[in-house]
Chains A and B, each alone.
Chain A
């Protein structure tokens, strides 16, 4: 099918099989490689994106479900994502960095929904994302830090 995808506020017109998972459309056809492949079966969260503001695993979302909807990937920006980036830097969170695209997008979705998440809120959302390097305690701290940064700015 021929379709328009709106990724990070830019429109891409592409020709693609409608049952292709969004992940591979974004990576191989649109060419934005920040969204990562980790498992292909919604188990690791490396491919997390926001679809009309909703957190989804792009490996398990068909491209046909995304037509006309706004997609946010790690290459994009949002208010909460920027505070999270600052906090990720301050806490020197990443090791290999590979899962961090998904971690940051998932954390963005968390802050979009809950202004000041508790540890339990963090567990509930972020447990869908695996970090094999084990940067979890830094991720947790950085999410709290992003909230603090935001409150200081506003």
Chain B
């Protein structure tokens, strides 16, 4: 982190459109975990985190990460407010535009808090110190008799106090204190951190006044809908637009060609036929009235059911050995008392955020301005610079609220579309995807097949573990012919299997991509969490052992494994969350008839999670009755938000376990909308109890994603315990459950 600096007021006003005045502090943080290097202009070495304190006492934070429901605006603000001893009612948050000066803004990988907490706290502490100095000077007393409390500086000798706003003018004249003199609060003194804070955006959320991408209105803007080939990467052969032109409100119909990403970077856009109208509905209707002949291309033969069979055959034969394998599984199996084998499947999945992909763009001569719900505004910006040959500094990406994202909105193909259309029609335009577009043209969570084989000795100890996996790689979206899952994908739960296994062999099999593949909330952990937890349950059953006990024994002795990151894996913490959840669920209790408990644990995004699910099953009707989850995510920044995230992860996991399946026939996705790509609804929402481990001295780790991977396996294990039927292939509706 660079030094905290005062900011030139004119620059500040220009960049953020905020009123000048008061104390404006900035600092520079950069994170090393990036997928793409944003283009760094030489002219910029600027702070990327800002706070402004005004004379009326208002404190504004510029949030550099996108808000998509994970509560990041509130979490980051709380860290500053705590160190600053601010009154929460004076805190507001302004969303930053996409710009390299913010460092990496890509909001994924459950890492915003992980990487931004300390700089935020330092900023708050620095501002507090300046206010104290200003008060001490005013009273002509030593600084150490002054303390900050609830938006005031108090003279502890006579209890006189001054409001922050009244100190701002003097404080802003001061030099920034040396970083070494800035002290952070002790955990015991936290007022907001680790407590329960309400979202800073509640009022807007409950009055319909939060501006999502789809709510952006620019004077004289048009609305557009795009017809894309049902088969991935198919192109327009010819089209008839007569009927579409007859739709009242339709103004223009143009062909936009695919923009193909260069190898290794970006997402490009699919292309198709765009209908431009004076309202969204007319654009949608015009699109339906188009008569398009497609060149469907090489993906036309892609049938997901056949692919499932192909992947299954492949995982039943030897694959490529993955580094990290150890020992000798073959001799382990030979000497085993018994071996257990099973094959698991997860289908393709779509994110289906409630707000469909959309973007508003205005291409004007050598300038582009975009308003969009993007997780990764910098990649969007670099991508636009690349495709439209406009200097990156002439491109502004305004980040709106995101009406859900779950990974979909980190791919900015919809932004590229809006710019391409705006360029053609020479007017500002909003591209809105229909729900059908969203379901049928996503960057899908990959389908997978896994084969597992385990050996048990006469004491029912696991002596060998073989796992073969196959799933199309995310890398295929950047690099054609990437036919094997990559190392970074396998490191999501496969190579870093949390169990103590001496004979461990991981193999990777070929899996071509015939759809665009992307990441979806918790990504590859969905596969690893499902396969491993289902299989451990099967091993426990074969071993005639209690599943919780079996997991604990398999995790083994207390050990710490240092990886490449600053967050070593600590087996003790994994066992602790499991023990805690077992206690909450009263594991082992007598259950009513047709009820079953199922357990799953998973380590992801450096957080430890254990979940137990109670289901009841009557006539193959599955009801998830109760869910107990414990998370150890280190320092818990905002407890209520963490609970909300884990409750949400439970429902996200339930939807994918019960219904989640995207299938294709002749290359085209067969699902359309929420009637055939279903979501869990309130009537099926279980009681959920969340426990957050008290680990305030540990660094914070991921929260948004780690609650997802455990849900599907815990449900399936519970179904087994209720019915004796194993579900090895998702979703449950395909196995006759409803």
Contacts and interface: CB of A to CB of B under 8 A. Distances in A.
Contact of B355 (A28, A41, A98, A104): A98
Contact of A37 (B210, B214, B682): B214
A20 B284 CA distance: 11
Contact of B208 (A35, A38, A44): A35
A39 interface: yes
Contacts of A34: 207-209
Nearest to B221: A28
Nearest to B436: A40
B192 interface: no
B178 interface: no
Interface in B103-154: none
B640 interface: yes
Interface size class of B (residues with CB under 8 A): 35 or more
A43 B674 contact: yes
A132 B647 contact: no
Contacts of B248: 17
A97 B199 CA distance: 10
B714 to A, nearest CB: 16
A65 interface: no
Interface in A127-145: 127, 129-140
Interface string A88-112: 1100101111111100100000000
What's the dominant secondary structure at chain A's contact region? loop
A37 B279 contact: no
B279 A29 contact: yes
A71 interface: no
Contacts of A27: 280
Contacts of B354: 36, 38, 44, 46, 96, 98-99, 130-133
Contacts of B651: 131, 133-134, 136
Nearest to A23: B281
Contacts, number: 179
Given A132-B679, A134-B648, A97 B352 contact: no
Contacts of B318: none
Interface stretch (B41-49, B64-72, B477-485, B729-737): B64-72
Nearest to B675: A43
A97 B210 contact: yes
B281 A134 contact: no
A79 to B, nearest CB: 15
B202 A92 contact: yes
A152 B642 CA distance: 30
A38 B395 CA distance: 29
A28 B281 contact: yes
Given A21-B281, A31-B217, A96 B402 contact: yes
A96 B214 contact: no
A121 to B, nearest CB: 11
A133 to B, nearest CB: 5
Contacts of B282: 17
B404 A136 contact: no
B638 to A, nearest CB: 10
A98 B403 contact: yes
A85 interface: yes
A101 to B, nearest CB: 5
A132 B67 CA distance: 15
Given A123-B682, A137-B688, A140-B682, A95 B644 contact: yes
Given A24-B280, A28-B280, A89-B206, A96 B69 contact: yes
B239 interface: no
A40 B680 CA distance: 19
B640 A92 contact: yes
B649 interface: yes
A50 interface: no
Interface in B219-253: 223, 248-249
Contact of B685 (A20, A73, A89, A137): A137
A73 B208 CA distance: 9
A39 B435 contact: yes
A31 B215 CA distance: 9
Contacts of A136: 651, 681-682, 685
Max count, chain B CB within 10 A of own CB: residue among A34, A35, A89, A130: A130
Given A28-B223, A33-B215, A122-B682, A40 B648 contact: no
B451 interface: no
Interface in B421-444: 432, 434-435
A115 interface: no
Interface of B: 67-71, 196, 198-199, 201-212, 214-215, 217, 223, 248-249, 279-282, 284, 352-356, 401-406, 432, 434-435, 640-641, 644-645, 647-652, 673-675, 679-683, 685, 687-688
28 contacts: A17-B249, A21-B281, A23-B281, A38-B356, A39-B674, A40-B673, A46-B354, A85-B207, A89-B202, A89-B206, A92-B198, A92-B202, A95-B71, A95-B644, A96-B68, A96-B404, A96-B405, A98-B353, A98-B355, A100-B205, A100-B206, A129-B682, A132-B352, A132-B406, A134-B651, A136-B682, A137-B687, A139-B682
Interface of A: 17, 20-21, 23-24, 27-29, 31-41, 43-44, 46, 73-75, 85, 88-89, 92, 94-101, 104, 122-124, 126-127, 129-140
Given A37-B214, A94-B206, A132-B353, 19 more contacts: A20-B279, A20-B281, A21-B281, A28-B223, A31-B217, A44-B674, A75-B208, A85-B206, A96-B67, A96-B69, A97-B401, A98-B353, A123-B682, A127-B681, A129-B681, A130-B354, A134-B650, A134-B651, A135-B648
The 5 closest A-B pairs by CB, nearest first: A34-B208, A134-B651, A98-B403, A96-B69, A74-B208
